[in-house]
Amino acid sequence: MATRHFLLLAGALAMIPAALQAQSIDPKVQARIDRILERTPLIDGHNDLAEQLRENYNMNVDGLASGTDRRKPPLMTDMARLHQGHVGGQFWSVYIPSEVTGDAAIRATLEEIDTVKRLVKAYPNDLELARTADDVVRIHKAGKIASLIGVEGGHQIGGSLAALRAYYDLGARYMTLSHFKDNEFADSATDDPKWHGLNDFGRTVVHEMNRLGMLVDLAHVSPETMSDTLDVTKAPVIFSHSDARALADHPRNVPDAILKRLPANGGVVMVNFYLGHLSEPYRQWDADHSAEQARLDTLYTGQPEIRKAKLAEWEQAHPAPMAGVGLIADHIEHIVRIAGHDHVGLGGDLDGIPYDAAPPGMNSVSGYPLLFAELIRRGWSDEDLAKLAGGNVLRVMRQAEAVAASMKDGAPATARLQPIDPANPWK
């Protein structure tokens, strides 16, 4: 999601009922979770640590070994907590803002890919770069976290299919077709329609991703883009960090009409932990909070201390509505009801959401067992928990790899957004 407001909302955590703060898991339940996640790697679809390191820590990958990080804003990810959470595979998001386009976008994306690779190299006892499903399984069996790369926006290729192929060669294994804004070929969920889905170049991008074996990620895209992509892709899609729109009417979430198409495609919705996508009351509160900020900005221009104090007063009077881990389970179970157990996974969006805007315990990579304990309480089988953890994503990866193998004799696409001008071929 790559949300940047990480300051704790005044009083919000203090308002959480004691029942929601309980984090203990029955030892027998914990032993069952341990067995499941020793056999099947837990693969999370989206973590924004690389973005946080770029924006707040000058791309410095040091100091992430222990679980006692004292940075401000606090990070949700480090090596100790990854192991505590039984994470077996992590897609590290490579994100740049939608406003950065063209050659600048390509340069910034390369810098973030480099950050992920330096992160993996800095912690060789914990992380190892993975390029295939078999790599993920092998690395997990060795007790490490298989590290994969996901490019979080089609604008990041700068309109160049050569850049797309270069990212794949560097290890990127998915690309989100759009981000907060429409781009040159695909509409975003959070922008007014430009193409009403994919344009011709967008369909070429999907075809080229299929040919490479790069997963097509439909998080952040509009329902029309989702539908157009399902019409043309030869491989299963993923939603790397999305929730069910039937439960929270955020435009980033997946409508039931799309969920109903997933069994035919084979794709997976990887559920996001952000309350703004999970909870309709929180979504409404967030809109009111933003409106109050805008009002204070107008009333107290040039008076930042007064604005800060007034906003704190508003937050004290209007605490954020909170929810427990059961809300994440509700979204998972809704997706299962519509699409089935074969089409759901996990994509927490950690280090891409505000620290206090996830259910208690789920704002850290150590929190996944809490969700599994809740689903066990609801009667889930070991087989279905294994599918949720990573079995479904491994299947999707293998299917995408098989599609790429079937297309290996196809020529790389050379389409351009604009034809080459013979008078200026470098433009």
Active site (catalytic) residues: 46, 48, 152, 179, 220, 241, 349
Residue 204, H or E segment: helix 200-212
Is the peptide bond between 73 and the residue preceding it cis, with omega within 30 degrees of 0? yes
Q: Which residues contact 158 (CB under 8 A, 6 or more apart)?
A: 101, 102, 103, 105, 106
Q: Is 335 helix (H, G, I), strand (E, B) or coil?
A: helix
Distance CA 55, CA 142 (A): 32
Q: Which residues contact 364 (CB under 8 A, 6 or more apart)?
A: 76, 77, 81, 85, 350
Pairing assessment for the beta strands 42-47 and 237-242 based on DSSP bridges: unpaired
Measuring CA to CA, which residue among 358, 212, 345 is closest to residue 275? 358
Q: Which residues contact 175 (CB under 8 A, 6 or more apart)?
A: 150, 151, 152, 153, 154, 156, 157, 164, 167, 209, 214, 215, 216, 217
Distance CA 229, CA 244 (A): 19
**Which amino acid, one-letter code, is at 93?**
S
Helices first, then strands: H and E counts in the chain: 18, 9
Measuring CA to CA, which residue among 221, 206, 216, 215 is closest to residue 255? 221
Assigned token pair, 119 = 């992160």
Cα–Cα distances in angstroms (integers) from residue 168 to residues 108, 212, 214, 405, in the given order: 16, 7, 7, 15
Distance CA 427, CA 160 (A): 12
Measuring CA to CA, which residue among 51, 62, 117, 54 is closest to residue 350? 51
Distance CA 197, CA 25 (A): 44
Measuring CA to CA, which residue among 178, 195, 247 is closest to residue 2? 178
**Beta carbons of 92 and 43 less than 8 angstroms apart:** no
